Amino acid sequence: MSMTQIIGAICDNSKRALAISDRMITTSDLSLSFEHETPKIDELATNCIALTAGSALMHAPIFTNVCAKLREKTKPKISEVVDELVNEFQNLRTKNIQNEIFSEVALTIGQFYQNQKQFHDAIIMRLTDKMEKYSLDLYILVVGVDSEGAHIYRIHDPGTSMPFDALGFCCIGTGQRHADVTFAYRRYTPSLPLRKALFVAYEAKKRAEMAGGVGKSTDITIVDGKKCKCLPQDVVEELEKIYNLMESERVTYGKEVEEAIEGIHVE
């Protein structure tokens, strides 16, 4: 089962960041989809959150272990959080490879490498191919603020991370193409003030809903380095009204829309 659209964006001259997620859960064969009641944005520390796409279950042990390691650090460097997530991601992937691939042939991964001369080439190639292709089917989007500013990282198979600080945004999910186009069309930069950034990100999420399986429910969290603030539903409804107003103006940010954006109650 998977969640289908997550977005992270840096704003306020890289002093703050925000994250947006839907709540849709979809089976891998697309035969079932539903809106889950639990938000899919997890707070890892007072200055860092993480969102997931792909598997809706695989992230749980990773986040649990990382939160335990960060318990004594109220405001860790975001790069340190990412390193911990990558390490746990790789550990889980290795564990699953052992359980799902090598247990079938009564071997450990270590035994496989130590005794390859005893195996037929076909067996070595088959197991190696399975290992290389094994995927957790999990994307993790890390959004946080530390003493160096706001950061966004994407973590994915086989356990690698990529920073998106320079670009200022990252979209993951089935509606990614629509969301990316929105950020590009609005010429998004990390220097945008919070309210403008918030609305561009919300617009990107709404555009992403054109893709199959992206849910209409929306959760938004703002990170400023001191706390992670989940915006109440009335702010989401306010953004929806502005979006509908913009749509009536045929995808332009007219004066009325600009004024409405400036009046968003986020502080």
Instruction: Tell whether domain 2-262 is in CATH 3.90.780.10.
Output: no
Query: What's the pLDDT at 217?
Result: 87
Under a CB-based contact definition with an 8 Å cutoff, are residues 152 and 169 in contact? Answer: yes
Q: Residue 71 has what pLDDT?
A: 87
Hey, where are the domains in the chain? 2-262
Q: What is the pLDDT of residue 225?
A: 86
Per-residue pLDDT of the chain (267 residues; tens, 9 = 90+): 455 789 999 999 999 999 999 987 665 655 556 666 677 789 999 999 999 988 878 899 999 999 999 988 888 999 999 999 999 999 999 999 999 999 988 889 999 999 888 888 998 999 999 999 999 999 999 999 999 999 999 999 999 999 999 999 999 988 899 999 999 999 999 999 999 999 999 999 999 988 777 878 899 999 998 899 999 999 999 999 999 988 886 656 778 888 888 888 887
Which residues on neighbouring strands pair with residue 33, listed in sequence order?
A: 26
**SS3 readout for 119-174:** CCHHHHHHHHHHHHHCCCCEEEEEEEEECCEEEEEEEECCCEEEECCCCCEEEEEC
Angstrom distance (rounded) from CA 161 to CA 83: 8
0.85 exceeded by the pTM? Answer: yes
How far apart CA 8 and CA 222 sit, in angstroms, is 10
Is residue 215 within 8 A of residue 173, CB to CB? The reply is: no
pLDDT digits (tens, 9 = 90+) for 105-115: 888 999 999 98
| Alpha-carbon span 11 to 169, nearest angstrom | 9
Q: What is the pLDDT of residue 214?
A: 80
DSSP H or E stretch at residue 206:
helix 194-208
Report phi then psi at 223, rounded to 5. Answer: -120, 130
137-172 pLDDT, tens digit per residue, is 999 999 999 999 999 999 999 999 999 999 999 999
pLDDT at 116: 86
The span from the CA of 25 to the CA of 56, in Å, is 7
Residue found under tokens 């990107």: 204
pLDDT number for residue 252: 66
**How far is the C-alpha of 136 from the C-alpha of 223, rounded, in Å?**
28
Token pair in block for residue 265: 């109650």
